[in-house]
């Protein structure tokens, strides 16, 4: 059974000094680099938003980062501007190995956010990753990266729902932890049948 490592969003804006810094985000780079040698396939994801993306608080007059808003597809957290296409903030951490098989970009549509590597936040629009994995005969996934409670969480739950055998290596993830979002994410991943290691 082919086993892939999926490295979620290890980008400058999610590391200390970045626009949406995750505490300790840079600490996972070296462990992830070592892990890559243990897998038959390595896939990196890259949060990749156009300027003025609808998930940015700056696109909603009167709103502040971390406020909630209502989108046509449901509630959405509003973020500081981050991971704008082609900027240094959207680049991978300088020490992250990028000798991966595939780099999958997500969140590139202006009107919809995409936490998951499989479906955008409407939970319907596919990114194409399912087809890629199936075509390569990959059935087993290990997820690492940033942030545990958003992009790792939604990717892991979607992967499990799609029938992949999914493990999240929590030691190689770091969380934003907004209003209990980490505890909720852990519960949701457990309920979906994700193995938390």
Q: Is 47 in the site for Zn ion (CB under 5 A)?
A: yes
Using the rule CB under 6 A, give the single segment among 27-35, 145-153, 159-167, 186-194 that binds ligand VGL: 145-153
Q: Please, what is the end-to-end C-alpha distance for the chain in angstroms?
A: 19
Q: Has 9 been annotated as catalytic?
A: yes
Structure tokens at 48: 């990749």
Q: Is 147 in the site for ligand VGL (CB under 6 A)?
A: yes
Among 48, 79, 92, 118, the residue binding ligand VGL under the rule CB under 6 A is 79
Say how many residues make up the chain: 197
Q: How far apart are CA 158 and CA 177, in angstroms?
A: 20
Q: Has 165 been annotated as catalytic?
A: no
- CB-wise, 115 or 164, nearer to Zn ion? 115
Count Cα atoms within 13 angstroms, Cβ side, for 187. 5
| H or E stretch covering 54 | none
Cis-peptide into 147, omega within 30 deg: yes
Candidates 15, 106, 158, 173; catalytic one? 106
- CB-wise, 65 or 196, nearer to Zn ion? 65
Among Zn ion, ligand VGL, none, partner that 147 touches (CB below 5 to 8 angstroms by kind): ligand VGL
Among ligand VGL, Zn ion, none, partner that 154 touches (CB below 5 to 8 angstroms by kind): none
Q: Has 83 been annotated as catalytic?
A: no
Beta carbons within 8 Å of 17's beta carbon, 6+ residues apart: none
Catalytic site residues? 9, 106, 151
């Amino acid at each position: 059974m082919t086993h892939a490592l999926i490295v979620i969003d290890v980008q400058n804006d999610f590391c200390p000094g970045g626009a949406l810094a995750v505490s300790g985000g840079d600490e996972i780079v070296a462990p992830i680099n070592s892990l890559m040698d243990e897998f038959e396939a390595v896939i990196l994801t890259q949060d990749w938003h156009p300027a003025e993306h609808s998930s940015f608080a700056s696109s909603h007059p009167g709103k502040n980062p971390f406020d909630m808003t209502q989108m046509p597809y449901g509630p959405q957290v509003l973020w500081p501007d981050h991971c704008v296409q082609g900027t240094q903030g959207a680049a991978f951490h300088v020490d992250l190995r990028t000798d991966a098989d595939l780099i999958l970009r997500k969140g590139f549509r202006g009107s919809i956010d995409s936490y998951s590597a499989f479906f955008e936040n409407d939970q319907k629009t596919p990114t194409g990753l399912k087809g890629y994995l199936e075509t390569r005969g990959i059935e087993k996934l290990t997820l690492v990266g940033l942030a545990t409670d958003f992009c790792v969480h939604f990717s892991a739950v979607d992967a499990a729902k799609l029938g992949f055998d999914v493990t999240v290596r929590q030691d190689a993830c770091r969380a934003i932890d907004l209003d209990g979002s980490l505890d909720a994410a852990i519960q949701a991943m457990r309920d979906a049948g994700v193995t938390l290691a």
